[in-house]
Structure 1
């Protein structure tokens, strides 16, 4: 794919599934909307020290009235700054900052021990932390840089989800996992194969969790193109989405309204109102899932 030849709205229109599309927060996902209240809920947000986590997701949960927000990243100093910004938005929200290496099992276990000590358990996990390491075609890749994508994007997602599920009080306790992925999980970009494949694995992990744990709503969210330090230069010429759009969507996905999307993948630009209108079609057609395209079955040859 020659990115330079594409129109600036390509990544909105080419992935369009709903009639209406957005690139900024809109009323139905406005976290201050009383219908989206998260009063009493405890949310863990990873990758919370910068980018979408700091600018969009964490502020949205503060505005939605969450009881507590657990900020997770590797940089403790940056987490402290985000914590202060959340208190300025909502002085009542409890904030716990935990410097964590999500690719390390002991570090993740320590995170959840702190959550248990402070709040008992979390109701919502927003898996936003990611690595984008190694750029180039396969023959030019450094194996260690290539594999780092899987350590963070795949193993990290697994460790967080596993500990989150273990901490729930019972097998029937309602909970939500929102996994930030990328359209690169299903589109083909040969120069970023490690990142793409690691995100595909994380996406499929959410599908498997949804199948095994019906009490947990798990949704993978492609955030679109947001201006963060992870956004590759090749993509900066396209229309960019606001961090507030991602924040509002993660709040909306953490409510009962999104239960029908469990095990599925959505794109941030899609209208949630249009998705709700197409609920029966999405469920009946098993839409918005990764699958192998083709005609299968012995009967076609008989």
Structure 2
């Protein structure tokens, strides 16, 4: 056993492009600030049944959103999040839906329900994801390996396409898509399917931005949050709060920063510092696939 103490900030510090990094909500991105108000807007969140997804839902509730759509695999988990949010924010209209996002027809039915209740939606946070059991590539079962892509990539595509079709019915309204990815600069052995699927989502985000001028799209790493998916080897470093991720999604929905459109960012990075460095991104492909810092 090594006597070297573990530095819980090691990966966060090494992956930060800003001088300051955060592991919890800070003043500049507090969701309840008036400048981040989402009044009269509707936010859709997949994977909203617990952990990061539930924290994202609460952050948007804090921003005064008119409506929340909670999409989870099971009805019980979406209803549980709905109950928790409504206990604190009674005025928010909440639609809880159980949907297998890998099933295109199921996604279509859910968006019919969204249209019927709210008419439209303004922000989509694609948080739903799965994590196949780890195995070296040479030893992996191809069906198990591919299962990460069925949800993380295909499912994200299904939901995003349905959101864009709904948005097209009122193109004058500006929309935001936030796709949750991971610390894709890492290459942990045996975890190829998960990390490659999340890298695919980052490139997918670039296409969403390129094809839809009225939509701002971002791929966001939540940092290292302690959830049911956190591997034992990462737990000593899992000091990021789910609330930090939630606050950053509100920031992106409210400010829709053009200089980050189609790009990857981390919830840990200092948003105020990034704002002062807009020129760094305006004429470059920084923070896009192939140019990750």
User: TM-score band, normalised by the shorter chain?
Assistant: over 0.9
8 Å CA contact 2:285–2:291 kept in 1: the answer is: no
Distance 1:68 1:188 in 2: 38
Moved beyond 6 Å, runs of 4+: none
CA distance 1:5–1:106, change in 2 (3 Å): farther
What TM-score does the superposition give when structure 1 sets the normalisation length? 0.92
- Superposition map of 1:204-223 within 5 A: 204-223=203-222
Distance 1:67 1:134 in 2: 39
Matched, 1:43 2:43: yes
8 Å CA contact 2:216–2:256 kept in 1: the answer is: no
Distance 1:291 1:7 in 2: 29
What TM-score does the superposition give when structure 2 sets the normalisation length? 0.94
The DSSP-based 3-state class of the residue aligned with 1:237 is helix
8 Å CA contact 2:226–2:238 kept in 1: the answer is: no
Deviation per residue, 1:134-165 (Å, 9 max, x gap): 30211121222111100000001110111000
8 Å CA contact 2:36–2:255 kept in 1: the answer is: no
- Superposition map of 1:252-271 within 5 A: 252-271=251-270
The DSSP-based 3-state class of the residue aligned with 2:213 is coil
Other-structure match for 2:135: 136
CA distance 1:14–1:87, change in 2 (3 Å): same
Can you give the 5+ residue segments of structure 1 that lack an aligned partner in the other structure?
A: 294-302
Matched, 1:12 2:12: yes
Other-structure match for 1:32: 32
Other-structure match for 2:93: 94
Distance 1:159 1:236 in 2: 32
CA distance 1:292–1:255, change in 2 (3 Å): closer
Other-structure match for 1:176: 176
8 Å CA contact 1:178–1:220 kept in 2: the answer is: yes
Distance 1:264 1:226 in 2: 21
Other-structure match for 1:297: none
The DSSP-based 3-state class of the residue aligned with 2:109 is helix
- Superposition map of 1:274-293 within 5 A: 274-291=273-290
Distance 1:209 1:82 in 2: 29
Deviation per residue, 1:69-121 (Å, 9 max, x gap): 00000121121111111112211110000000000000100110000000111
- Count of residue pairs the alignment pairs up: 288
8 Å CA contact 1:252–1:258 kept in 2: the answer is: no
Can you give the 5+ residue segments of structure 2 that lack an aligned partner in the other structure?
A: none
8 Å CA contact 2:114–2:120 kept in 1: the answer is: yes
The DSSP-based 3-state class of the residue aligned with 2:138 is helix
Q: CA deviation at 1:285?
A: 2.6
The DSSP-based 3-state class of the residue aligned with 1:71 is strand
Matched, 1:238 2:237: yes
Other-structure match for 1:53: 53
Q: Which stretch has the larger CA shift, 133-142 or 222-231?
A: 133-142
Q: CA deviation at 1:257?
A: 4.7
- Superposition map of 1:46-195 within 5 A: 46-54=46-54, 56-168=55-167, 169-184=169-184, 186-195=185-194
Q: CA deviation at 1:8?
A: 2.4
What is the root-mean-square deviation in Å for CA atoms of aligned residues? 1.6
The DSSP-based 3-state class of the residue aligned with 1:121 is coil
Distance 1:206 1:6 in 2: 34
